[in-house]
Copies of this chain bind each other. A is one copy, B any other.
Amino acid sequence: MTDTNALPERLLLGSGPSPVPERVLAALALPTLGHLDPAFGEVMDEIGDLLRQALVTENRVAFPVSGTGSAGMEAMVANLIEPGDRVVVGVHGLFGERMADEIARHGGEVVRVEGEWGRALDPQALIDAVHDGPAPAALFVVHGETSTGVAQPLDGLADAIHDRDGLFLLDCVTSLTGHPLRLDEAGVDAAFSGSQKCLNAPPGLAPFTVGDRALEKLRARATPVPSWYLDLNLILAYVDGEGGRTYHHTAPTNMNVALREALRLAVVDEWLPTRWERHRRAHEALRDAFAALGFTRLAPDGEGLHPLLAIRVPDGIDEAAVRKRLLLDHDIEISGGLGPLAGKVWRIGVMGVGADKAPQELLVAAAAKELGLNAGEALAALHEGWSA
């Protein structure tokens, strides 16, 4: 049996999980608290405050769902979509596909607005779909498509769906605190994220928020929420109870203490606009460095998702073999492509503490070595990007 301490220490520069700072790991390993302990209640209250800051929202309801990002997606659909609801879904990558699947499983009628993997959707196409035909119950888009490294513009979307009395739903798993997003300004009614991307906490929690319009829809449901575990009506008695927290399920207490520490690092120690700007800069520096190695970004200018750089692998490279050597010989994790992009792209995380010059230097130098290229020009481009 392997010794626990024999686990390798990787530099996590893939699509997530991202590098977890020592301070967050230390918080994770603090002695376990009970989920009904008032001291843990304070932790949950502070997480709510910090999440509101991170999401730039005044929503009263903001808490981490007790599961990974996909559990956040499922919580959104299980609570806010009823059988027969018509939902317009932007599909231009794996996570839009996944949402379409999820909505169909919950009896929703999916209206797909499709686009090329690697491009943003034309907001007008989404708006047209919202206005066309019977009123949709919701419009869903992925703010940061982790499968393609594309950031979706949200302009005009909230107005369009609100004109038809529907909800504006958002996946901000990869963008939260790494790409500019102001939830209330964008008119978002509900959103979910993940702990293991730009927040740099371990995977296992899904930051989640709903506004008043979404809560009204929840309260007006004709059918029970089909999930007991994710039923907001029950969860709210714990996360937002009048006069105390009523037991629903046992909250993952250690994970929440770690998430609180990660949120403090993200929105207290660093001012959110500064953090967004750092991610932009880190993204562009790394893009330029890989351009010098012959890799071009999948997303065109203006559509790149800062926390995730997806780049086309030049012909003739066995990308899986190089990634494997990066992992096993250099302890650096990056991600390959998914779906139609499998074997064609690399996806590199630019997330939280990973959005910095030092880890990027290690990656660029190691990648150049494994590709049999001189790293000089690429490192020079990286440094130029960071000194700009």
From 40 to 89 in chain A, residues with beta carbon under 8 angstroms from any chain B beta carbon are: 42-43, 46, 66-71, 73-74, 78
A43–B2 CA distance with the chains assembled, in angstroms: 9
Are B31 and A9 in contact, CB atoms less than 8 angstroms apart? Answer: yes
Are B9 and A34 in contact, CB atoms less than 8 angstroms apart? Answer: no
A30–B204 CA distance with the chains assembled, in angstroms: 15
A131–B36 CA distance with the chains assembled, in angstroms: 42
Are B2 and A42 in contact, CB atoms less than 8 angstroms apart? Answer: yes
Are B101 and A228 in contact, CB atoms less than 8 angstroms apart? Answer: yes
> Is residue A17 contacting chain B, with contact meaning CB distance below 8 A?
yes
Chain B residues contacting A101 (CB-CB under 8 Å) are 228
A14, closest chain B residue (CB): B34
Are B254 and A202 in contact, CB atoms less than 8 angstroms apart? Answer: yes
A38–B10 CA distance with the chains assembled, in angstroms: 12
Q: A47 CB to closest chain B CB, in angstroms?
A: 12
Q: A194 CB to closest chain B CB, in angstroms?
A: 7
A100–B264 CA distance with the chains assembled, in angstroms: 41
- Which of A5, A9, A98, A204 has the most C-beta atoms of chain B within 10 angstroms of its own C-beta? A204
Q: A352 CB to closest chain B CB, in angstroms?
A: 12
> Is residue A12 contacting chain B, with contact meaning CB distance below 8 A?
yes
Identify which of B46, B71, B254 contacts A2 (C-beta below 8 A). B46
Are A67 and B33 in contact, CB atoms less than 8 angstroms apart? Answer: no
Q: How many chain copies does the complex carry?
A: 2
In the complex, per-residue mask of A189-206: 1 if CB is within 8 Å of any chain B CB, else 0: 000001010000011100
Are A247 and B39 in contact, CB atoms less than 8 angstroms apart? Answer: no
A249–B12 CA distance with the chains assembled, in angstroms: 17
A42–B50 CA distance with the chains assembled, in angstroms: 36
| Listed stretches A20-28, A213-221, A275-283, A375-383; interface member | A20-28
Chain B residues contacting A36 (CB-CB under 8 Å) are 335
Are B204 and A1 in contact, CB atoms less than 8 angstroms apart? Answer: no
Are A254 and B28 in contact, CB atoms less than 8 angstroms apart? Answer: yes
A264, closest chain B residue (CB): B1
Identify which of B25, B38, B78, B252 contacts A68 (C-beta below 8 A). B252
Identify which of B14, B104, B106, B204 contacts A66 (C-beta below 8 A). B204
A side interface size, CB within 8 A: 77
Are A253 and B105 in contact, CB atoms less than 8 angstroms apart? Answer: no
Chain B residues contacting A30 (CB-CB under 8 Å) are 4-5, 7, 25
A268–B224 CA distance with the chains assembled, in angstroms: 44
Identify which of B70, B105, B224, B229 contacts A249 (C-beta below 8 A). B70
> Is residue A129 contacting chain B, with contact meaning CB distance below 8 A?
no
From 262 to 316 in chain A, residues with beta carbon under 8 angstroms from any chain B beta carbon are: 264, 268
Are B32 and A20 in contact, CB atoms less than 8 angstroms apart? Answer: yes
> Is residue A141 contacting chain B, with contact meaning CB distance below 8 A?
no
Chain B residues contacting A328 (CB-CB under 8 Å) are 38
Are B327 and A203 in contact, CB atoms less than 8 angstroms apart? Answer: no
A251–B9 CA distance with the chains assembled, in angstroms: 17
Chain B residues contacting A46 (CB-CB under 8 Å) are 1-2
Chain B residues contacting A327 (CB-CB under 8 Å) are 37
Are B10 and A73 in contact, CB atoms less than 8 angstroms apart? Answer: no
Are A105 and B14 in contact, CB atoms less than 8 angstroms apart? Answer: no
Identify which of B32, B39, B105, B260 contacts A227 (C-beta below 8 A). B105
25 contacts between A and B (CB under 8 A): A2-B46, A4-B260, A8-B37, A14-B34, A17-B250, A28-B29, A29-B29, A34-B333, A38-B328, A68-B250, A68-B251, A69-B249, A70-B228, A70-B229, A70-B249, A71-B71, A98-B228, A105-B224, A194-B250, A202-B253, A202-B254, A203-B250, A203-B253, A204-B252, A226-B226
